[in-house]
Amino acid sequence: MNEPNRAIPAFAEPDWAQVARIPVADCGEALSSLRLAPALQIYPAYRHLGIPEAVDDCQVRQEVFERLLRAAECLPAGLVLVVLDGWRPIAVQQHLYRTLEAAMARHHPQANAATLQRLTRQFVSPPSTDPQAPSPHLTGGAVDVTLCDAQGRWLDMGSRFDEVGPRSFSAHYETAAADDGAALAIRDRRRLLHNAMLEAGFSNLPSEWWHYDYGDQLWAWYRGQPAALYGPTAPPSLEGLWQQQLAERFASPT
């Protein structure tokens, strides 16, 4: 990997209104399960947290699958990429947003609706299945990741996954004091993860060291792409597959 210890830039938060205006030209890639990928560790975090309707797998678009494998190859020997979440049902997105917004309202009782939305969306996107402005995780292009060692021990990344505070910002530890060994070690782990993911073509949400995107509108925003590759999607249902197979089988000859 090129420059694995390259500093993490302090990017500004995206202009969400402009992000939502980026065209979506869905390429039609299917979702793929990461469960059997030997180079990755899978830990469906929201299922383990007992979030209603959270799935027990991590599924992503096929190109995201390939790029995660590429990112894993960029890591130094002894480090393993852990995937905590990929495609997310709309019910989970609604639960996360509603719960965090309510918590923000309790801690900021004077805040108006616009302020509460700004504070909440730093860490959870508003739920949306709009084909032209979907929540990132509903596209199969957003992933949440961390690192563990070869024995499966999670590394200290400086904050908990989904922690809502300044330590969650990707570049938070870039200002660590030169004599603070623990903070510098966290900084270097974040740099390893960040640079491996960017080397594989992902972009990072600055307020979440664990959140990376490929192919969705956030990726297009940070990568300067003219359009997103992925809109909202979902795993195919058995009924849907049967209907498709029957339609193909009994299609009238042309």
137 is in an annotated binding site: yes
108 is in an annotated binding site: no
Q: How far apart are CA 199 and CA 244, in angstroms?
A: 38
Q: How far apart are CA 130 and CA 125, in angstroms?
A: 13
Instruction: For residue 208, indicate whether it is catalytic.
Output: yes
144 is in an annotated binding site: yes
H-only helix segments in the chain: 16-21, 45-48, 62-74, 90-107, 113-121, 181-199, 217-223, 238-249
User: Which residue is associated with the tokens 């905590």?
Assistant: 84
Q: How far apart are CA 126 and CA 88, in angstroms?
A: 13
Q: Is 142 left (phi over 0), alpha (psi -120 to 50) or beta?
A: beta
Catalytic residue among 13, 163, 208, 239: 208
Give the 3-state DSSP-derived string for 204-238, with helices as H, strands as E and coil as C.
ECCCCCCEEECCCHHHHHHHCCCCECCCCCCCCCH
Active-site residue set = 208
Q: Which residues are annotated as a binding site?
A: 137, 144, 211
Q: Which residues are annotated as a binding site for Zn(2+)?
A: 137, 144, 211
